[in-house]
Amino acid sequence: MGPIDKRLILANLPEEYCGPRVLLRTYRAGDGPMLWDAVEESREHIEAWLPWSPYHQSPDDSEAYARKCHAQWLLREDFAISIWERASGRFLGGSGMHPKNRSTPAFEIGYWIRKSEEGKGYVSETVRRLTDALFADMGANRVYIRCAVKNVRSNAVPQRLGFPLEGMLKNEICLASGELSDAYQYAVTPEIWASLSDRPS
């Protein structure tokens, strides 16, 4: 176990983060039905970018996914996040803080939102809050986001939050169709993020 792994395992990380409108928390046993409902609503809408089919074929699949995510959080292997509307308690979508280079350390943020809640700013609020958490709680020195070049809505999130574009990665993402897609990559360091802290979300 490297030193960064030990640091994360011993860290007292919160399992919930709050934004003005969202509650971000680990997946838990019992989340499967609500996750399944959101996936079913959004399957045709999002699956072009996220290959969900093998993982969510039934409500039991979604429940197993939720429990696996919680176990990975406890082991500090990965940090999947469920997104909930604070006011109503409705499940909105998912995100995550994924360790990619533990010696740096660097993390990738991914996200999706159910079709009926698209365009309301929930994802931008989520990414802002998780980026804060990565720098404050996990000692990140680099946070990045990759988006398929044709995924206009996903690319709008880091652009809106001021993540600088680092470049385009050729054949970086395999889509659900099996097609390879180029990806835009955006990243911030603690210094860049601090300079952007007053930007509107």
pLDDT-based confidence at 198, cuts 50/70/90? Answer: low
Q: Is the pLDDT of residue 199 over 70?
A: no
Per the CB < 8 A criterion, the answer to whether 182 and 141 are in contact is: no
Q: How far apart are CA 36 and CA 82, in angstroms?
A: 12
DSSP 134: H
Neighbouring C-beta atoms of residue 29, cutoff 10 Å:
9
Predicted pLDDT of residue 159: 97
Per the CB < 8 A criterion, the answer to whether 185 and 151 are in contact is: no
Of 57 and 51, the structure prediction assigns the larger pLDDT to: 57
Q: Is the pLDDT of residue 1 over 50?
A: no
Amino acid at residue number 135: F
Predicted pLDDT of residue 123: 98
Average pLDDT, the chain: 91
**pTM for the complete prediction?**
0.92
Q: How far apart are CA 76 and CA 82, in angstroms?
A: 16
Residues 61-115: tens digit of each pLDDT? 999 999 999 999 999 999 999 999 999 999 999 999 999 988 889 999 999 999 9
Predicted pLDDT of residue 5: 64
Residues 111-145: tens digit of each pLDDT? 999 999 999 999 999 999 999 999 999 999 999 99
- Report how far apart, in Å, the C-alpha atoms of 188 and of each of 18, 46, 162, 170, 197 are: 21, 26, 9, 21, 12
Q: Which residue has tokens 């996936």?
A: 39
Order of strands across the sheet that contains 180-188: 16-18, 22-25, 79-85, 91-101, 106-113, 142-148, 180-188, 165-174
